[in-house]
Amino acid sequence: MARITLKDVAKFYGDAQVLFDCNLEIADHEFVVLVGPSGSGKTTLLRIIAGLEHISAGDLYFDDRRVNDVDVADRDIAMVFQNYGLYPHMSVYENMAFGLRRRKIPASEIDRRVRGAAEMLNMAAYLQRRPRQLSGGQRQRVALGRAIVREPAVFLLDEPLSNLDAHLRVQMRAEILRVHRAVTATAVYVTHDQIEAMTMGDRIVVMHEGRIQQVGTPDELYDAPANRFVASFIGTPAMGFIEATLEGEGDRAELVVPGLRLNLAEPQRKALARSGARQVSIGIRPERLVLGDDPSADWRVAGTVDVVEMLGSEQYVHFSTEAGSLTARVSRDHPLKVQESVTFSGAAQHLHLFDRETGKTLA
Amino acid sequence: MSDRRQQDGPRRFTLGKAVQYLAIAFGLFWSLAPVYWMLATSFKTELEATRIDPTLVPLEPTLANYIGLGGQSLPFFAFFFNSILSCLATAAIAVVIATPAAYALSRARFRLRGTVSYAILVFRMLPLVVMLAPLYLLLLNLHLLDSIGGLVVGFTTFGLPFAVWMMKSFIDAVPIEVEEAARVDGYPRWQILLRVVTPLIMPGILTTATFVFMEAWNNLIYPLTFMTTMEKQTLPAALVLTFTGQFKTDWGGMMAAATVTTLPLMIAFFAVQRSMVRGLTSGAVAGA
């Protein structure tokens, strides 16, 4: 078991810096997900924790022990790779036992652990097979099994589900969480899929362009994103944005948006006034747009339907307004057609305000 | 594919195809005619082999030339053994040295890696003759002239650069995650090379060893230069030295010996043919 601490961790490849001042504390037993788009540095950060990449600057601690220069073999970690990284010339049994043999664990104990892990992952019938004789899901289970038998202090998983089909991915998500509960190791999980992050992580670390953007529980990230990037990255369908300008000074300042009537809540007004930002992006989550022109609503927005995505139980309606495009989640009881004029309304407290220049959350 | 053929109807014999087949036929004839001539002559009597109007098929086929190889006058089997021993040793030493060297060039990040790689390649481009004098002096000082050991040193100097480059391409094709998994499992580099990488590149090792073996087997100039005792000579060199006299050449005997000389090469080639093709094309397509 281990607590992981990163202090001002940076990584350079030659002159190119790929990680900037990463600070993070991961509690013992915690399941933390690193999420971000391709090239955000999440895999590099995971590989630094693993010891597969050298730290250019900053410190990494496992509990109170600085492990910057500790070899990967001595970090007491287990890792599941994106492409499984199984040994093709060994049976499933040997794949799982290989790491244990290195640690001079008695054969009877190795056998007990391998069979136990295989049992846990429903792979007991495949122990003598080679990886090439297994399906993608089974290979991923072997990779998981190989990590489990090691009984490591830290579990590292690098996009382990990205090669699986959608159905299997959902199944394996539950499986990984079940395994994590059973082994109670600290787990760091990398994915570019925000749904995976939201459903699996105790806490989520959102990364973008080599920087940690926000660390928080799924609820915190969804309800109080730190900046426009986090707001747009977390949530499906993504948050929509319209652009606004702050006019007037002090308490009389008003956000002006073409085609939108807007009454901001008092805390939002104050926050706007404090920030001094003139160019503002307003973010609205699709489920916060209520179909219809409700006179008592804080804001109303009119537009024309561009695309309707039918999902069975509900539909995603993408529509254009004068100030930008938005997406709304609408019950299928209200059939909408392309080119139809629509009006949506909602409460001011559900609007997210961002400084358009810095992207930071204003309110 | 089959659907398209059906749509096209019977394949038409175009001029392009005709030229293609002609070129293939010419290529086959060019390569196989000497082989046939060697085989046919090896079954001819001495008289028939030297006729002014040569025969295509032996008129009176005889095994006398082959039986003669085992005769008392010529230590043919000693030549054969010398060749097998020196070439097998060369192939073995070359892959044993080339594998870790190629692994370092493939995986390690160090200054001058590219320079070292190309220096090895440039060494390979030198003609055999250029190496002759320095090698001769080296073997002389090491007291390895006229010995199988010296011959192996000579063969290896020329086979090794090729082996390193070939092995490097095989190691490049091994997914890095497999090695990283072994590092996480706690294995040091040399054990990863031995227990993870080597089994995965076994087809490559066999292919490389076969190429080095064949090249050493066909090497004529080193044995002719470094070996002085007839009994220690390799087979190809012995063929030149023993069957060609001042006044007469024993064509039948030489062709029988040549046939036996090419046999190990043929056997080696066919034994590893499948893995050789796989080896040479590995990494050419994604997922290979």
B28-83: per-residue pLDDT in tens? Answer: 999 999 999 999 999 999 888 888 888 889 988 999 888 887 765 778 888 989 99
Chain B environment of A73 (Cβ under 8 Å): 183-188
Judge contact between A137 and A172, C-beta under 8 A. yes
Cα gap A271→A363, rounded to integer Å: 6
Tens of pLDDT, residue by residue over A194-244, are 999 999 999 999 999 999 999 999 999 999 999 999 999 999 899 999 998
Q: Is residue B32 part of a domain?
A: yes
Rg (CA), chain B: 24
Which residues have CB under 8 Å from A93's CB, separation 6+? A114, A118, A127, A128
**Pairing label, strands A16-26, A31-35:** unpaired
Q: Scanning every residue of chain A, which has its alpha carbon at the shortest distance from the alpha carbon of B287?
A: A83
Q: Mark yes or no for CB contact B184/A86 under 8 Å.
A: no
Domain coverage including residue B108: 69-281
Q: Mark yes or no for CB contact B200/A81 under 8 Å.
A: no
**Do B128 and B255 share a domain, yes or no?**
yes
Q: What is the pLDDT of residue A102?
A: 93
Q: What is the pLDDT of residue B189?
A: 92
Residue at a domain's end among B67, B86, B113: B67
Q: What is the pLDDT of residue B11?
A: 63
**Do B33 and B75 share a domain, yes or no?**
no
Number of domains in chain B: 2
Q: What is the pLDDT of residue A54?
A: 94
**Do B16 and B128 share a domain, yes or no?**
no
Q: What is the pLDDT of residue A1?
A: 64
Q: Is residue B286 part of a domain?
A: no
Cα gap A350→A285, rounded to integer Å: 8
Chain A environment of B201 (Cβ under 8 Å): none
Name the strand (E) or helix (H) holding A272: helix A266-275
Residue from A13, A52, A54, A98 to probe the interface with B (highest B Cβ count within 10 Å): A98
Residue at a domain's end among B67, B85, B115: B67
**Do B23 and B141 share a domain, yes or no?**
no
Domain CATH code at residue B118? 1.10.3720.10
Q: What is the pLDDT of residue A263?
A: 79
Q: What is the pLDDT of residue B288?
A: 35
Which CATH superfamily hosts domain A4-231? P-loop containing nucleotide triphosphate hydrolases (3.40.50.300)
Residue in the block written with tokens 């409700």: A294
Q: Mark yes or no for CB contact A52/B183 under 8 Å.
A: yes
* Per-residue pLDDT at A108 exceeds 50: yes
**Do B189 and B106 share a domain, yes or no?**
yes
CB-side exposure of B191: number of CA atoms within 13 Å?
A: 14
DSSP A59-86: EEEETTEE-TTS-GGGS-EEEEBTTB--
Q: What is the pLDDT of residue B27?
A: 95
Q: Can you say whether the dihedral through the CA atoms of B120, B125, B131, B134 is positive or negative?
A: negative
> What are the DSSP E strand ranges found in chain A?
4-13, 16-26, 31-35, 57-62, 65-66, 77-80, 154-158, 186-191, 203-208, 211-216, 240-247, 254-256, 260-262, 279-284, 290-291, 299-310, 314-321, 324-331, 341-346, 351-355
Chain A environment of B200 (Cβ under 8 Å): 88-89
Q: Is residue B207 part of a domain?
A: yes
**Mean of the pLDDT values across residues A327-333?**
92
How many beta-carbon contacts under 8 Å exist across A and B?
Answer: 51
Q: Scanning every residue of chain A, which has its alpha carbon at the shortest distance from the alpha carbon of B196?
A: A87
Q: Name the pTM for this structure.
A: 0.81
**Which stretches of chain B score pLDDT less than 50?**
1-7, 282-288
Question: Which residues of A lie closer than 8 Å to B, measured between beta carbons?
Answer: 50, 52, 72-73, 77-79, 81-89, 98-99, 102-103, 146, 150
Distance from CA of B108 to the nearest CA of A (A): 13
In this complex, the residue of A72, A103, A150 whose CB is nearest that of residue B183 is A72
Name the residue among A99, A105, A102, A128 with its Cα closest to residue A115: A128
The domain defined by A239-355 folds into: OB fold (Dihydrolipoamide Acetyltransferase, E2P) (2.40.50)
Sort residue A273 into left (φ over 0), alpha (ψ -120 to 50) or beta. Answer: alpha
**Mean of the pLDDT values across residues A297-319?**
92
Q: Is residue B287 part of a domain?
A: no
Cα gap B237→B180, rounded to integer Å: 48
- For chain A, what are the domain ranges? 4-231, 239-355
**Do B63 and B83 share a domain, yes or no?**
no
Phi, psi of A77 (to 5 degrees): -120, 165
Look at residue A277 and give its three-state secondary structure: coil
**Do B81 and B134 share a domain, yes or no?**
yes
**Do B74 and B24 share a domain, yes or no?**
no
ipTM exceeds 0.90, yes or no:
no
**Do B152 and B199 share a domain, yes or no?**
yes
Q: Mark yes or no for CB contact A84/B186 under 8 Å.
A: no
**Pairing label, strands A77-80, A4-13:** unpaired
Q: Mark yes or no for CB contact B182/A98 under 8 Å.
A: yes
